[in-house]
Amino acid sequence: MILKSKLSFCLEIICPANSHFEPQGSGCPATCINPNSTQNCPLPAQESCICDSGYILSGGVCVPEAECGCSFEDRYYRSGETVILGDDCGRRCSCSHGSMTCQSYGCGPLETCSVEQGERGCRPNSYATCWISGPGSYHTFDGVTYQYPGACRLTLAKVMESSPRSHFMVTVEKDPRGQQGFVKVLNVEVEGTHVSIEMTESIFPHFVRVTAPGIYNGSLGGLCGDYNGQPDDDYRTPDGTAVSSSQDFGDSWRDGPLSADCVDSGNSNSSGNSSEQCGILVSPHGPFTQCWATVDPQQYMEACREVIRASMNPASALCEFLRDYVLICQQRGVPLRDWRNATDCEPTCPLNSHYEICGSSCPSTCPSLSFPFTCDTVCQEGCQCNDGLVLNGHQCVPPTSCGCYHQGRYHEGGEQFLDGEECQHLCTCDGTTGLVGCYSNPPGTCYASGDPHYYTFDHKAYDFQGTCRYVLATVCNATDELHQFSVEAKNEQLSGLSVSITAEIFVNVYGYQIHVKEKNCLMIISTRHYIIVSEILKCLFLMMNIEKTCGLCGNFNGNSNDDFLTPTGQIVTTPDEFGTAWKVAGNYTCSDGCGSSCHHCSNEQPARAQCQVLQAADGPFSFCHEQVDPTPYFNDCVFDVCVSGSRSQDLLCRAMQAYVSACQSANVRIYPWRQNTTCSE
């Protein structure tokens, strides 16, 4: 729990999962390597995020103490981490419960032991590529090109059950009734993780390429063949039977019944010059001659003609197909001059990007900022983001507009997601900093403003005009996990009126005490581990995620029906009874509410006109409407202004300040508003 003095306060510090903020944290926090590092620490105390009780730092992450890693051969490994050691990759070692266990290991005949990006391992010596183009052209890993017009769900490549290799499967879904049988959905499954990509015009709908490492030699099946280096046996069905026709071969790898609906319709446009259009591929005067020796263009001619015949826009389809051929050439290391000028295929790039004939094949993206990697692939033609921008999906954006990389997954800025084995943490991605803040439960907010209008943690609204000192929030049924604190408010009668306002605030926490008299507004933000108090008092805010509170702010259990709970455990029905029950004893004169004599507003219209600025769509507070609903603040404003007589201007400005403070507590940027209202400082 933190209490900052001198009334110079900051907003809530966001700490990673399983940690909390401390103003005087140890400069030598306990780690798995040195759990006693806090003892005799030579460094001064500093404000920092400290692991929760029962947790300890492991590689910069707070983990349960029982999940500490292993110190082995002068290095530290996290619990559950498995590494390959030795210049020949001769050992495979795993860390479990603080102990490292090693077994004999070694690379296979198609692998080489090497270190990449600081990690040693066995890596393939070679790769092979299979592709599918247009409505039905296929090229296997072993180099067989064939035509198959089948649609529906088709298996391109999968690891057969007899193989000991890691499992993966690539399938495509083709709709024969839409877009002339082109691939519509690409599905990838790797070790139980599934990814589905819906293909669109912007991501090469006519071309799918699958590249497999040589270690899968002879282990695969599907429309890409068995990858054993022998082209003459590629037509094998799932049960291993060799067939002679591409139709029988393709049908065997299709999911679902063999029905007419799963055969491409064969619809085509009336263009009769597809051979002439595709002839640019094999023209000795064309831009592709440099690549002929490496990538035989004749293998692509039939696929090109098929794409042209099937497309409703032959010119666009030709350019996309030629780009596919260029990418294959570049992947094989063949440099090509600018082919687009010779083919009238002018590139169209999205906003904030430009065309390059040889740009990076792994450009900077939002996820790569948090998870950098080495790019060792050859360049490729296409659109590249302008300097200073990175890819976020299909858009080029500034790095500050990116999201967060958290435990292997990328999240957009502002995205909220659940974390933890039992989804017990609600996390929020800060798109500006790239940091993720996680809380055991989302914080609740209680506020009191104006004549005091109260709004509990469980969203119960009520009015109470008592002029005594009352407990707003404190810890009830305390446990060792929760730090004791209390926030009390002293109300006073507004001069000449039967209404009251909050005049003084008393905060007690960690042995510290703060007494704030009326000046502006007081905001108190509290989580399980700390409270932050700022110097603002014409309204009062409490933000907490402690589920064992009591006082005028309620018990924060998610049920607003039992918020009127007294210190004795009794539920009362009226605000006056509830407020009186939480009065702080003392030697002072006060009244417990106005009862039946409370002032009522007889004509709201003038007050509504004055307060309407809070809700105006083009007003000075519109910047906050999406984050904080102005309606309850408008209603409170109308009541306060209506009953305040000659003090209406003062109460109007208090209401506006209350809404601005709520916006600030929601981390909304505040723009100058006083100059656009009647509330000058």
Last residue of a domain, one of 578, 597, 616: 597
Question: Of 210, 234, 264, at which residue does a domain stop?
Answer: 264
Q: Is 592 within the bounds of a domain?
A: yes
CA–CA gap between residue 15 and residue 55 (Å, rounded): 14
| Structural domain contains residue 2 | no
Q: Which pLDDT score, from 0 to 100, does residue 443 have?
A: 65
Residue 1 lies in a domain: no
Q: Are strands 127-133 and 111-116 parallel, antiparallel or unpaired?
A: unpaired
Note whether 461 and 583 are same-domain residues: yes
274 & 416 share domain: no
* Residues 113, 177 within the same domain: no
Identify whether residues 433 and 451 lie together within a single domain. no
What is the reported pLDDT for 200?
Answer: 61
Nearest to 317 by CA among 266, 276, 277, 358: 277
Whole-angstrom distance, CA of residue 131 vs CA of residue 124: 20
Residue 387 lies in a domain: yes
pLDDT surpasses 70 at 423: no
Same domain, residue pair 500 and 483: yes
Q: What is the pLDDT of residue 85?
A: 94
**DSSP SS3 for 439:** strand
Q: Do the domain assignments include residue 583?
A: yes
pLDDT digits (tens, 9 = 90+) for 562-579: 999 999 989 999 888 999
For residue 58, the domain's CATH number is 2.10.25
Provide the pLDDT confidence category of residue 284 given band limits of 50, 70 and 90.
very high
120: in domain: yes
**Whether residue 452 sits in one domain with residue 472:** yes
Phi-psi region of 248 (alpha: psi -120 to 50; beta: other; left: phi over 0): alpha
Say whether pLDDT at 352 is over 60. yes
Residue 2, pLDDT score: 33
Is residue 490 situated within a structural domain?
A: yes
CATH number of the domain at 360, please: 2.10.25.10
How many domains does the chain contain in total?
8
Mean pLDDT over 411-438 rounds to 76
> What is the mean pLDDT of the segment spanning 244-248?
89
pLDDT at site 175: 67
Last residue of a domain, one of 244, 264, 284: 264
- Asked whether the CA dihedral 273, 277, 281, 283 is positive or negative, the reply is positive
Scan for tokens 């509504």, then name that residue. 608
The answer, yes or no, to whether residue 88 has pLDDT greater than 60, is yes
Give pLDDT tens digits for 120-178.
999 999 999 998 876 777 889 998 988 887 777 889 999 998 778 889 999 988 766 44
> Does residue 520 carry a pLDDT above 60?
no
Same domain? For 56 and 187 the reply is: no
- Look at residue 561 and tell me whether its pLDDT is greater than 70: yes
CA 327 to chain centre: 32
Q: Same domain for 434 and 448?
A: no
Maximum CA extent, the chain: 104
Mean pLDDT of the chain: 80
Its pTM stands at 0.49
Six-digit token string for 364: 């900077």
pLDDT at 681: 61
Element (H, E) at 448: strand 444-449
Residues 593 and 466 in one domain: yes
Q: Is residue 466 part of a domain?
A: yes
Q: Which range of residues forms the domain containing residue 329?
A: 268-346
pLDDT tens digits, residue range 181-230? 567 788 999 988 888 887 765 444 457 889 999 999 999 999 999 999 99
Residues 462 and 552 occupy one common structural domain: yes
More confident residue, 492 or 339: 339
Find the helix or strand (DSSP H, E) in which 359 lies.
Answer: strand 353-359
pLDDT per residue as tens digits for the range 19-29: 888 878 888 89
Q: What share of the chain is helix, strand, coil (3-state, %, to 5)?
A: 20, 30, 45
For 268, the token pair is 């085509």
Best CA proximity match to 253, nearest among 378, 188, 359, 169: 169
Indicate whether 390 and 332 sit together in one domain.
Answer: no
pLDDT band at 462 (very low <50, low <70, confident <90, very high): confident
DSSP secondary structure letters along 104-124: E----TTEEEEEETTEEEEEE
Clarify whether residues 587 and 605 are in a common domain.
no
